[in-house]
A and B are shown apart, each in its own frame.
Chain A
Amino acid sequence: MRTFSGKLIIIVLLVALVGLLSWAILSLPFHGASLRAQVFGNLGNSGVSNPVTAVLLNFRGYDTLLEIVVLFLAALGAWSLGIVRLPDTMHPARPFLLALLRILLPAMVLAAGYLLWAGAHAPGGAFQAGAVLGSAGILLLLTEVQLASIITNWPLRIALTAGVVVFTGVALGTMILGGHLLEYPRGWAGTLILLIESVAAFSTGITLVVLFIGGRPSKSDPSVALKTPEERKEQL
């Protein structure tokens, strides 16, 4: 923004926008419309007792399916931007960090499992568990563990697509069995939700690690991670 008067006009317009939004909010009725009654009325049939999980994976399961696909698409986009240097896997080992991670990583996996299980009756769920798993993966990347040589090509791809595939499979399966899309059969809702949530949590964790890497982790030539961008362009 070059000119001061340009900035001033923007500020005035934005203050007007704030005023307009505040007026809209303040003129809403005190007890607005809410879907609370419908949700709690059908909670018994949904297979879980946490209302947010029920809405996420049962009543509005289609939105969650599309959300997992969006996460996958972002990983696809980042993956196709090229091979990128792995962040900080070659720096000298920090003994305190490694010692801390030996305690922290199993605890994080345990916490992720607990959040996944508790999502049925208490605050928690698949995305929280997936985020903790993703954080564990990122911490692992920041140590000297060279994940590119451990995670080879195909297991990584299977892990990334597992969430989308399982959720879509359940959705198509319910259609094949005669119901509508994602209309769980009677009595199976809890089991199917747990299945979808576990695979989605694992897949979300791996996707977040790939998004952190920011590109395709290279396995065939580990030294490509060390080259500068000019050298990589020469190589390609």
Chain B
Amino acid sequence: MSVSTLYSLVGSSLFCLGLYGLIAYGHLLRKILAINVMGTGVFLILVALAYGSREISPDPVPHAMVLTGLVVSVSATALALALACRVQENTGSTKLTEDGSD
């Protein structure tokens, strides 16, 4: 197993761990944490595959894509956190409810 394969497997595990955290917990902050972990997993897979295809140095195009993705991820997280604070201010609860269930 090469370094690249190891980190790709870590990336896919992080993605699935994040997906479990997103589904299993109701608290909005936990969901946003889980989405961030999922995004980090995807970036790991991208960069690990770029490292794996190297001859001298890794492929720079996935690096640029991940850099863009990182900034987009922080903007989405910031907006999601602002919305979550608003939801908590307006409804008083930190979970999204549908007609009283969950």
**A–B touching in complex (CB under 8 Å):** yes
Residue ID in chain B nearest A210 by CB atoms: B78
* CB-based contact A22/B20 at 8 Å: no
Is B29 interfacial (CB-CB < 8 Å)? no
Residue ID in chain A nearest B69 by CB atoms: A67
* CB-based contact A10/B79 at 8 Å: no
* CB-based contact A55/B72 at 8 Å: no
Secondary structure call for the A interface: helix
Q: Chain A contacts of B85 at CB under 8 A?
A: 84, 214
* CB-based contact A25/B53 at 8 Å: no
Is A70 interfacial (CB-CB < 8 Å)? yes
Is A1 interfacial (CB-CB < 8 Å)? yes
Q: A33-B53, A34-B50, A74-B75 are in contact. List 6 more A-B contacts (CB 8 A).
A: A30-B2, A34-B61, A39-B60, A55-B63, A56-B67, A215-B82
Q: Which chain B residues have a beta carbon within 8 Å of chain A's beta carbons?
A: 2, 5, 8-9, 12-13, 15-16, 19-20, 23-25, 45, 49-50, 52-55, 57-61, 63-65, 67-68, 70-72, 74-76, 78-79, 81-83, 85-86, 89, 102
Please name 27 pairs of A and B residues whose Cβ atoms are closer than 8 Å in the assembled complex, sorted by A: A2-B102, A10-B23, A10-B24, A11-B20, A22-B12, A25-B45, A30-B52, A32-B53, A33-B53, A34-B61, A36-B53, A36-B54, A39-B59, A39-B60, A51-B57, A52-B64, A55-B61, A55-B63, A55-B64, A63-B68, A67-B71, A67-B72, A74-B79, A77-B79, A78-B79, A211-B78, A214-B81
